[in-house]
Amino acid sequence: MNFYSLNKIAPNVTFKDAVIKGLASDKGLYFPEKISPLGKEFLNNIEDFSNKEIAFEVIKQFVADEIPEKELKEIIEETLNFDFPIISIEENIAALELFHGPTMAFKDVGARFMARCLGYFNKEEKINKVTVLVATSGDTGGAVASGFLGVEGVDVVILYPSGKVSDVQEKQLTTLGQNITALEVNGTFDDCQAMVKTAFMDEKLIANKNLTSANSINVARWLPQMFYFFFAYKLLKNKHKEFVFSVPSGNFGNICAGLMAYKLGLPVKQFIAATNINDIVPEYLETGIYTPKPSKQTISNAMDVGNPSNFVRILEIFKNDDTKLKEMLSSYSFTDKETQQAMKEIKEKYNYIADPHGAVGYLGLKKFGIDANTYGIFLETAHPVKFLNVVEPIINETIELPKQIKEVINKEKVSINISTYEELKHFLINS
Ligand SMILES: *Cc1c(COP(=O)(O)O)cnc(C)c1O
């Protein structure tokens, strides 16, 4: 399968090159040339397929023969070695828990898939050493660190905003060592992202280094997220309702993958992009004007994004037709206060502990309105333990640490402090 750049200047590339490059040379995001809907047969009988078989059916057209069937199946097998349960919360509303992977955030799937694809390309065809450069507002760093740990031919450099990620998140990205380096940036997530963007545009640097991104701009991180929506459909199909997915959104990769699943034929009534007060997309859907803003810090920090990268892909899915887009996608924003209130209510009424991101998703369903004919699914994108300082005071309870977290929490943090792009460049050139 070939991919084109959404800036329409750079040449089309194969899946392999799209993964290795991350972003096209004209700085556009890659998008698949063709999206072929899956057969009715498959969707009608989805309950007969295992998650791994579903994933293979969903992703294969995008990878095509660039990874042979046997190896692609192995990559999927290793990527999906945990569960994706649906937990019923109240009548016609359920949480799709995406946090049972090694770093307890949904990003594990994309990061593991991408790491293994790069590992495959490296093993088969000896590509030059690749440096994965990634900015994180919290969860990406840990998932990428864990997914890429020990992958040969790949070095990983993670930039994170000092003091603005949770303790658990920080430990997950600063304690692994080996081919993983954490750069602690004196600034915000936007500053980290700006430095990464500058690096990708630095001709002198990219002449020296094979840089790629592991943010959801990379097709190998973004596309596997389609799986979740099919897994949920498999588990809920026999309810015979119309499905509404509410996705807590920051960089809009996950919801964009949901919309791709819809393009592949998944029957969905509506998607809801639920955001915190970083409300660029809700504002766009209301006014038709897209205004990036500096990100504001919230308790759902993985969604503190002031200029969501993947929104251009969503526009592309709908061929820039706003009417069609609005028919399928609603978007609402919520304050921290509303989110805290929702977490309290979900605990008190339904005895479920939501994390701040999932709670924003839940609020999205409530605002949209779920009636007797519809079934609302909100994506629980992280385990509440990742946000202990926020969650525990609200639910008035201590949360037991899962084993994935116990393993890192007492390890020693190792990071390198930087403040400017020059320092980043210096590090990259000398490493
Ligand atoms: C990254 C993240 C999000 C936002 O996902 P996007 O694909 O960037 O919209 C939501 N919740 C959690 C917990 C995350 O880590």
* Residue 137 confidence (pLDDT) above 90: no
- Minimal-distance CA residue to ligand 1 atom 8: 251
Query: Could you list the active site residues?
Result: 107
Ligand 1 mean position, distance from CA 125 (Å): 33
Pocket (CB within 6 angstroms of ligand 1): 105, 107, 139, 216, 248-254, 302-303, 357, 381-382
- Ligand 1 centroid vs 235 CA: distance in angstroms? 23
Distance 358 CA to ligand 1 centre (A): 10
Q: How far is the CA of 166 from the centre of ligand 1 (A)?
A: 14
Distance CA 269, CA 73 (A): 31
Strands 30-32 and 13-14: unpaired
Q: Where are the domains of the chain?
A: 85-106+221-399
Q: Could you count the other beta carbons within 10 Å of the beta carbon of residue 74?
A: 14
Cα–Cα distance for residue pair 287/291, rounded to 1 Å: 10
d(CA 184, CA 84): 32
Q: Which ligand 1 atom is the nearest neighbour of the CA of 250?
A: 9
Compute CA 3 distance to the chain's CA centroid, rounded to the nearest angstrom.
20
**What span, in angstroms and rounded, lies between the C-alpha atoms of 192 and 431?**
19
Q: Are 126 and 154 in contact (CB under 8 A)?
A: no
Nearest partner of 1 among 220, 210, 200, judged by Cα: 220
Q: Can you name the residues that pair with 242 across neighbouring β-strands?
A: 374
* Average pLDDT value over all residues in the chain: 95
Strands (E), 278-344: 329-333
Give per-residue pLDDT as tens, 259-272. Answer: 999 999 999 999 99
Rounded Cα distance between 305 and 12, Å, is 29
CA of 353 to the centre of ligand 1 (A): 18
Ligand 1 center from residue 299 Cα (angstroms): 13
Q: Kindly state the average pLDDT of the residues 395-421.
A: 93
C-alpha–C-alpha distance, residues 229 and 263, integer Å: 12
Phi, psi of 381 (to 5 degrees): -90, -15
Among protein residues, the one with the nearest Cα to ligand 1's atom 14 is 302
For residue 148, is pLDDT > 80? yes
Best mutation site among 134, 213, 249, 300 for ligand 1 pocket (most ligand atoms within 8 Å of CB): 249
| 125 pLDDT above the threshold of 80 | no
Task: Report which ligand 1 atom has the smallest distance to the Cα of 225.
Answer: 7
What are the tens digits of pLDDT across the range 79-106?
Answer: 999 999 999 999 999 999 999 999 999 9
Inform me whether the pLDDT recorded for 383 exceeds 90.
Answer: yes
**Which parts of 58-152 are beta strand (E)?**
86-90, 93-97, 130-135
Q: Which of 106, 227, 247, 329 best tests ligand 1's pocket when mutated (most atoms within 8 Å of CB)?
A: 106
What integer pLDDT is reported at residue 58 of this predicted model? 98
pLDDT tens, residue by residue, 287-314? 999 999 998 999 998 899 999 999 999 9
Dihedral angle, C-alpha 248, 253, 258, 259, nearest 10 °: 120
Across residues 190-194, what is the average pLDDT?
Answer: 88
Say if residue 126's pLDDT is above 80.
no
Q: How confident is the model at residue 25 (pLDDT cuts 50, 70, 90)?
A: confident
Taking the CA of residue 256 as reference, the ligand 1 atom at the shortest distance is: 7
Q: Which atom of ligand 1 is nearest to the CA of 137?
A: 1
Residues 6+ apart with CB under 8 A from 278: 250, 293, 295, 296, 298, 303, 304, 305, 306, 333
Residue 364 near residue 347, CB atoms below 8 Å = no
Fold classified for 85-106+221-399: Rossmann fold (3.40.50)
pLDDT at 56 over 80: yes
**Among protein residues, the one whose CA lies closest to atom 2 of ligand 1:** 302
Phi/psi of residue 182, nearest 5 degrees? -105, 125
Ligand 1: atom nearest CA of 358 is 11
Q: Name, in order, each residue with C-beta under 8 angstroms of 87's C-beta and a sequence gap of 6 or more.
A: 94, 95, 97, 352, 380
Band the pLDDT of 201: cuts 50, 70, 90: confident
Q: What is the pLDDT of residue 279?
A: 98
> For residue 224, which of 75, 5, 360 has the smallest C-alpha distance?
75
pLDDT, tens only, 353-381: 999 999 999 999 999 999 999 999 999 99
Closest to 128 (Cα-Cα) out of 67, 18, 212: 212
How confident is the model over 220-229, as a mean pLDDT? Answer: 98
pTM metric for this prediction: 0.94
